[in-house]
Copies of this chain bind each other. A is one copy, B any other.
Amino acid sequence: MNTFIFTATFILLSTVVNQGISNPAIGFSAILSQNTYLENDHAIVYDNVVTNFRNGYNRWSGHFAAPRKGLYVFTCSVRANSKVGITVVIVHNGRPVLRIASSVYSPETGSGSVTLILKKGDNVWVKRLGHGRHIEKHYNYFSGYLISAEI
């Protein structure tokens, strides 16, 4: 009996070492589906959810809540729908961490990425920081994913 289980263990372990065990899969991407007017201090609600593996992203609030601790990456693109620039900011538990700006003179896309260490349950979202208020559907999006849980 012991020999059987032992052999099973050895085969299982060899498989692990040969093929690798992957990172836990956590990641989302969401896109704005309607032209939107930004209020102060509200999360931007990217409502067209392309991917939401492990359901960390809430499409009603616009918040991502970390399903587990780890090293994460977040990316956001912003584009105004007029010739007024808009600055948004990626927020971690209420603290602004990365500003991203659309141009002041023409509707163009600004993008930014940031690497963050999150505790389980930490929140990350995007809000308006300043300048204009009208952002364009399809060209505003927000993504995040776990890089490693080994922190």
A contact set with B: CB distance below 8 Å: 2-3, 5-6, 9-10, 12-13, 16-17, 19-29, 31, 50-51, 53, 70-71, 73, 75, 77, 79, 97-117, 138-139, 141, 143-151
Contacts and interface: CB of A to CB of B under 8 A. Distances in A.
Contacts of A22: 20, 23-24, 70, 148-150
Q: What is the count of identical protomers in the complex?
A: 3
A112 B77 contact: yes
Main secondary structure of the interface of A (DSSP, over half): strand
Contact of A6 (B6, B16, B25, B98): B6
Contacts of A148: 22-27, 146
A79 B109 CA distance: 11
B110 A150 contact: no
A113 B75 contact: yes
Given A20-B21, A77-B112, 16 more contacts: A9-B10, A19-B24, A23-B23, A24-B150, A25-B70, A25-B149, A28-B115, A29-B116, A50-B98, A50-B114, A50-B115, A71-B145, A79-B101, A109-B109, A114-B143, A146-B147
